[in-house]
Structure 1
Amino acid sequence: MTSHSLLHTSLPSRINRTVWCCNKNSSYTSSRVEMEKADSFVVDDQELLDKKISSIRNAGPAKLQVIADFDATLTRYWINGRRGQSSHGLLQQGNPEFDVKRHKLHEYYHPLEFSPTISIEEKTKLMEEWWEKSHGLLIEGGLIYSAIKESVSNATIAFREGVVELFEYLEERDVPVLIFSAGLADIIEEVLKQKLHRSFKNVRIVSNRMVFDNDGHLVSFKGKTIHVLNKNEHALDMAAPIHDQSGGIDGPTDDTASVEQRTNVLLLGDHIGDLGMSDGLNYENRIAVGFLNDNIEKSISGYQKSFDIVYLNDASMLGVVDLVSQLCSSGGD
Structure 2
Amino acid sequence: MCHCIKLGYLRRSSCGPLAGCAVGRPWQWQPAGADKAQMPQFQRSSVRIKNPTRVEEIICGLIKGGAAKLQIITDFDMTLSRFSYRGKRCPTCHNVIDNCKLVTDDCRRKLLQLKEQYYAIEVDPVLTVEEKYPHMVEWYTKSHGLLVEQGIPKAKLKEIVAESDVMLKEGYENFFDKLQQHSIPVFIFSAGIGDVLEEVIRQAGVYHPNVKVVSNFMDFDENGVLKGFKGELIHVFNKHDGALKNTDYFSQLKDNSNIILLGDSQGDLRMADGVANVEHILKIGYLNDRVEELLEKYMDAYDIVLVKDESLEVANAILQKVL
TM surpasses 0.5: yes
Partner in structure 1 of residue 213 of structure 2: 205
Q: In structure 1, which of residues 290, 300, 314 is the aligned counterpart of residue 309 of structure 2?
A: 314
Change in CA separation of 1:184 and 1:66 when aligned onto 2, cut-off 3 Å: same
Asked if 2 retains the 8 angstrom alpha-carbon contact of 1:184 and 1:207, the reply is: yes
Indicate the RMSD between aligned Cα atoms, in angstroms: 3.0
Partner in structure 2 of residue 292 of structure 1: 287
Partner in structure 1 of residue 259 of structure 2: 265
Matched position secondary structure for 2:97: coil
Q: What code does the residue aligned with 2:27 have?
A: S
Q: What code does the residue aligned with 1:113 have?
A: E
Alpha-carbon distance between aligned partners in 1 of 2:9 and 2:187, rounded to the nearest angstrom: 24
Matched position secondary structure for 1:106: helix
Partner in structure 2 of residue 10 of structure 1: 27
Partner in structure 1 of residue 322 of structure 2: 327
Matched position secondary structure for 1:302: helix
Q: In structure 2, which of residues 37, 60, 65 is the aligned counterpart of residue 59 of structure 1?
A: 65
Q: In structure 1, which of residues 214, 224, 231 is the aligned counterpart of residue 239 of structure 2?
A: 231
Change in CA separation of 1:70 and 1:218 when aligned onto 2, cut-off 3 Å: same
Residue ranges of structure 1 left out of the alignment (5+ in a row): 21-32, 240-253, 329-333
Partner in structure 1 of residue 145 of structure 2: 136
Runs of 4+ in 1 over 6 A off after TM superposition: 33-37
Using the TM superposition, give the Cα deviation of residue 206 of structure 1 relative to its aligned residue in structure 2, in angstroms.
1.3
Alpha-carbon distance between aligned partners in 2 of 1:296 and 1:102, rounded to the nearest angstrom: 25
Alpha-carbon distance between aligned partners in 2 of 1:44 and 1:37, rounded to the nearest angstrom: 14
Q: What code does the residue aligned with 1:289 have?
A: I
Change in CA separation of 1:43 and 1:112 when aligned onto 2, cut-off 3 Å: closer
Change in CA separation of 1:298 and 1:110 when aligned onto 2, cut-off 3 Å: closer
Asked if 2 retains the 8 angstrom alpha-carbon contact of 1:66 and 1:176, the reply is: yes
Matched, 1:68 2:68: no
Change in CA separation of 1:178 and 1:42 when aligned onto 2, cut-off 3 Å: same
Matched, 1:124 2:133: yes
Asked if 2 retains the 8 angstrom alpha-carbon contact of 1:180 and 1:207, the reply is: yes
Give the number of the structure with larger relative contact order, counting CA–CA contacts within 8 Å between residues 6 or more apart: 1
Q: What code does the residue aligned with 1:271 have?
A: S
Partner in structure 1 of residue 92 of structure 2: 86
Using the TM superposition, give the Cα deviation of residue 99 of structure 1 relative to its aligned residue in structure 2, in angstroms.
2.9
Alpha-carbon distance between aligned partners in 2 of 1:177 and 1:135, rounded to the nearest angstrom: 27
Q: What code does the residue aligned with 1:226 have?
A: I
Q: What code does the residue aligned with 2:273 have?
A: D
Per-residue CA deviation, residues 158-180 of structure 1 (Å, 9 max, x unaligned), is 11111110111111111111111
Using the TM superposition, give the Cα deviation of residue 5 of structure 1 relative to its aligned residue in structure 2, in angstroms.
7.3
Using the TM superposition, give the Cα deviation of residue 88 of structure 1 relative to its aligned residue in structure 2, in angstroms.
0.9
Using the TM superposition, give the Cα deviation of residue 201 of structure 1 relative to its aligned residue in structure 2, in angstroms.
1.0
Asked if 2 retains the 8 angstrom alpha-carbon contact of 1:40 and 1:315, the reply is: no
Asked if 1 retains the 8 angstrom alpha-carbon contact of 2:246 and 2:274, the reply is: no
Using the TM superposition, give the Cα deviation of residue 121 of structure 1 relative to its aligned residue in structure 2, in angstroms.
3.5
Asked if 1 retains the 8 angstrom alpha-carbon contact of 2:243 and 2:272, the reply is: no
Asked if 2 retains the 8 angstrom alpha-carbon contact of 1:39 and 1:315, the reply is: no
Q: What code does the residue aligned with 1:133 have?
A: K
Alpha-carbon distance between aligned partners in 2 of 1:191 and 1:266, rounded to the nearest angstrom: 22
Q: In structure 2, which of residues 224, 228, 237 is the aligned counterpart of residue 216 of structure 1?
A: 224
Asked if 2 retains the 8 angstrom alpha-carbon contact of 1:293 and 1:312, the reply is: yes
Q: Which range moves more in the overlay, 126-135 or 89-98? A: 89-98
Q: In structure 2, which of residues 37, 47, 51 is the aligned counterpart of residue 41 of structure 1?
A: 47
Using the TM superposition, give the Cα deviation of residue 35 of structure 1 relative to its aligned residue in structure 2, in angstroms.
9.1
